[in-house]
């Protein structure tokens, strides 16, 4: 790449210096040159590259108007024709991370533009879109901007030096993309496997050539012996909320959960309840929210004496795009509240 690399930078409304959550509903717009963190990036790139334009979009607008946002941003990129896209860094901001990842997917798969970004490993945007960008690991908040930007600059400079042919994550310093490549090795696979096995048997350190994902394992609790005396609670990731979504739970990448009373509620009717979830067609859930959170059926079981009682509160959030770290934190708090209220069983519904 002998000529100066032409870069477009994608930012949300906050880092684009437009405003906070009150401006999260702004549609995509193009600005000349670099803005916010892009200025530091641009200054560090010197004569090798330049951020020619910045695309800014509000997190709420992007996630609630996904197809419109994707279409507009694609048109902007087609018009500018950049050599590289930089997105973020998004840190652990779920909606921002998903937006950066979605823009990366558009750039890479539809326009053939490579992407460099920065993100916290537990941000859902990384797991969902890691194959479309060179994601640098960042701290979980914007307080880590000073460490995030140099790492992103390093990747961009290496990209320029190597004419767009970056090496492995270990060589370059970006996170795994989940991409497998064929390489030539000095030893055949069988010999390498035996050496790894011998090291493992000897208790020595070894490095696998194909790391496997790690999943949490949760031991099941003991079965309930007498349901007729059991206090049951309802918890959902299906986004059922009182009409109007009073706590403004996000439609994707939720940053909170809601706690709402069921005192005297026998049925989740259309006039009083709806779903805030943005990951499925809400029509049926909005007509009868019992389809997601079965209050009516549990009330019947309560009357019939099948269960002891229904807890007088329900807990709700949105599962799509929500980070594992946030989901665990919500679960811990909700579980503590339920135990304090004497709940012995939970019915957990999704969508």
pLDDT digits (tens, 9 = 90+) for 294-309: 999 999 999 999 999 9
Residue 28 lies in a domain: yes
Output 119 or 64, whichever has higher pLDDT. 119
What local confidence, expressed as pLDDT, does residue 21 receive? 87
Mean pLDDT of 89-103: 92
Residue 29 lies in a domain: yes
Q: Do residues 245 and 165 share a domain? A: no
Q: What does the DSSP assignment read for 242-304?
A: ETT-TT---SSS-S--EEEE-TT-----TTTEEE--SSS--HHHHH-GGGTS-HHHHHHHHHH
With bands split at pLDDT 50, 70 and 90, how would you rate the model's confidence at 179? confident
Contacts of 41 (CB under 8 A, 6+ apart): 9, 34, 51, 86, 149, 152, 153, 156
Q: Do residues 249 and 148 share a domain? A: no
Q: Do residues 138 and 241 share a domain? A: no
- Which of 140, 172, 204 delimits the end of a domain? 172
As a whole number of angstroms, the distance between CA 221 and CA 215 comes to 19
Domain that holds residue 116: 5-172
Residue 214 lies in a domain: no
pTM of the model: 0.68
Q: Do residues 36 and 123 share a domain? A: yes
What local confidence, expressed as pLDDT, does residue 195 receive? 93
| pLDDT greater than 50 at residue 1 | no
* Residue 117: HSE in the Cβ half-sphere, 13 Å Cα cutoff: 37
What local confidence, expressed as pLDDT, does residue 226 receive? 94
What local confidence, expressed as pLDDT, does residue 10 receive? 98
- Residue 22 sits in a domain of what CATH number? 3.40.50
Q: Do residues 155 and 269 share a domain? A: no
* Residue 37: HSE in the Cβ half-sphere, 13 Å Cα cutoff: 28
Q: Do residues 141 and 247 share a domain? A: no
Residue 325 lies in a domain: yes
Residue 212 lies in a domain: no
Q: Do residues 167 and 253 share a domain? A: no
Q: Do residues 9 and 151 share a domain? A: yes
Output 213 or 73, whichever has higher pLDDT. 73
What local confidence, expressed as pLDDT, does residue 274 receive? 96
Q: Do residues 237 and 107 share a domain? A: no
Mean pLDDT of 205-224: 82
Q: Do residues 163 and 242 share a domain? A: no
Indicate the DSSP class of residue 108.
Answer: I
| pLDDT greater than 90 at residue 138 | yes
Residue 184 lies in a domain: no
Reduced to 3 states (helix: H, G, I; strand: E, B; else coil), residue 131 is: helix
Which tens digit of pLDDT belongs to each residue from 251-306?
Answer: 887 889 999 999 999 999 999 999 999 888 999 999 999 999 999 999 999 999 99
Q: Do residues 245 and 313 share a domain? A: yes
Residue 162 lies in a domain: yes
Residue 80 lies in a domain: yes
Q: Do residues 162 and 233 share a domain? A: no
With bands split at pLDDT 50, 70 and 90, how would you rate the model's confidence at 2? very low
- Which of 125, 140, 172 delimits the end of a domain? 172
Number of domains into which the chain is organized? 2
With bands split at pLDDT 50, 70 and 90, how would you rate the model's confidence at 120? very high
Q: Please give the backbone phi and psi of residue 350, each rounded to the nearest 5 degrees, phi first.
A: -115, -125
Give the mean pLDDT of the chain: 92
Which tens digit of pLDDT belongs to each residue from 8-45?
Answer: 999 999 999 999 989 999 999 999 999 999 999 999 98
């Amino acid at each position: 790449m002998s000529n100066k690399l032409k870069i477009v930078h994608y930012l949300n409304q906050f880092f684009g210096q437009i405003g906070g959550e009150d401006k999260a509903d702004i549609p995509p717009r193009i600005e000349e040159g670099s803005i916010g963190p892009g200025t530091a990036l641009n200054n560090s790139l010197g004569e090798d590259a330049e951020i020619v334009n910045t695309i800014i979009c509000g997190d709420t607008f992007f996630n609630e108007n996904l197809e419109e946002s994707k279409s507009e941003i694609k048109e902007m990129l087609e018009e500018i024709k950049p050599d590289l896209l930089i997105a973020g860094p998004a840190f652990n901001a779920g909606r921002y991370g998903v937006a950066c990842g979605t823009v990366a997917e558009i750039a890479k798969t539809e326009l053939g533009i490579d992407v460099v970004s920065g993100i916290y490993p537990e941000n859902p945007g990384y797991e969902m879109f890691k194959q479309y960008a060179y994601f640098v690991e960042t701290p979980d908040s914007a307080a880590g901007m000073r460490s995030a930007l140099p790492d992103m600059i390093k990747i961009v400079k290496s990209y320029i030096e190597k004419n767009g042919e970056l090496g492995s994550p270990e060589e370059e310093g970006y996170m795994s993309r989940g991409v497998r490549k064929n390489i030539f090795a000095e030893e055949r696979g069988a010999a390498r496997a035996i050496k790894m096995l011998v090291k493992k048997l000897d208790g020595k350190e070894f490095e696998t050539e194909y790391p496997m994902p790690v999943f949490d394992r949760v031991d099941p609790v003991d079965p309930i012996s007498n349901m007729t005396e059991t206090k049951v609670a309802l918890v959902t990731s299906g986004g059922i909320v009182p009409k109007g979504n009073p706590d403004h739970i996000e439609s994707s990448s939720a940053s909170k959960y809601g706690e709402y009373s069921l005192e005297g509620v026998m049925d989740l009717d259309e006039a009083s309840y709806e779903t805030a979830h943005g990951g499925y067609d809400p029509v049926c859930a909005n007509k009868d929210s019992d389809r997601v959170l079965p209050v009516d059926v549990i009330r019947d079981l309560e009357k019939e004496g099948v269960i002891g009682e229904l807890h007088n509160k329900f807990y709700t959030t949105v599962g799509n795009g929500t980070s594992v770290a946030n989901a665990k934190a919500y679960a811990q708090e909700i579980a503590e509240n339920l135990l304090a209220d004497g709940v012995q069983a939970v019915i957990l519904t999704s969508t």
